[in-house]
Amino acid sequence: DAEITQSPRHKITETGRQVTLACHQTWNHNNMFWYRQDLGHGLRLIHYSYGVQDTNKGEVSDGYSVSRSNTEDLPLTLESAASSQTSVYFCASSATFSGELFFGEGSRLTVL
Amino acid sequence: AQTVTQSQPEMSVQEAETVTLSCTYDTSENNYYLFWYKQPPSRQMILVIRQEAYKQQNATENRFSVNFQKAAKSFSLKISDSQLGDTAMYFCAFMFRLYGGATNKLIFGTGTLLAVQP
């Protein structure tokens, strides 16, 4: 079955370290999205992509970067992790005209 | 910019009763989707129901139905015959459709934590 997977599911890191969260989908979806979830804020969009080589900033993109070198993957990189980036991160994907997003199971990141 | 507001941070309902979760949104667009997502303790995001803005008929999925008031920009979720498994965080979300109806990013509300009591 097609799916979307995130790794790692849990990670603890230290302030200032570089961290990469992986997202891989097997649906061949053009659209991919990264959100972070924090209490009182819901899910907020970090970055998104509508296809290979396309990336766009969301509402909370500072301190994060993404690259889209193929259809299946959209890794999220924290260049220098900060305690404010402690959160649960969700990756999602969608087909171009489906009107529906499919979510991964989330990655919990703790920055000490 | 589009915004989504959920004014009820927490709600509680007795098993088998009916509960309504509120959601309002703000947009100047005319071509959009509205969604309710459920997030149980497992953290998985589960689509509950979807409404296309051009459809006047309210969407229904088994025990879940919406009251879509386009002019008022209101999109409430009614859960009938509440079950213990309905205990979860519920998120209202908005999607402005791109050219040709293409799928776009979701904008979420802050969520309503629903507890179903036995």
The DSSP bridge pattern shows strands A102-103 and A87-94 to be antiparallel
pLDDT in tens, A85-107: 999 999 999 987 777 899 999 99
Q: What's the rounded Cα separation, in Å, for the pair B12 and B38?
A: 15
Contact criterion met (CB < 8 Å) for B103 and A41: no
How many CB atoms are closer than 10 A to CB A22? 15
Across the interface, of A35, A96, A106, the residue whose CB is closest to B102 is A96
**Which residues of chain B does A95 touch, with a Cβ-Cβ cutoff of 8 Å?**
103
Q: How many CB atoms lie within 10 A of CB B81?
A: 11
CA distance A89 to A22: 10
Kindly indicate the confidence band of residue B12, based on its pLDDT and cuts at 50, 70 and 90: very high
Determine how many CB atoms are found less than 10 A away from the CB of residue B113.
15
Contacts of B103 in chain A (CB under 8 A): 31, 94-101
Considering CB atoms only, which of A42, A45, A99 is closest to B103? Answer: A99
Stretch B1-22: mean pLDDT = 95
Beta bridge partners of residue A31, listed in sequence order: A94
Q: Tell me which residue in B50, B100, B108 faces A100 most closely, judged by beta carbons.
A: B50
- Mutation target to probe the A interface, by most A beta carbons within 10 A, among B89, B103, B113 is B103
pLDDT of residue B56: 85
Give dist(CA B31, CA B111) in Å, integer: 23
Q: B94: distance to nearest CA of chain A, Å?
A: 11
CB contact under 8 A, A42 and B95: no
pLDDT in tens, A4-26: 999 999 999 999 999 999 999 99
Residue A58 predicted with pLDDT over 90:
yes
**Measured between beta carbons, which residues in chain B are less than 8 angstroms from residue A90?**
45
Enumerate helices (H) and strands (E) in chain A, giving the number of each. 0, 11
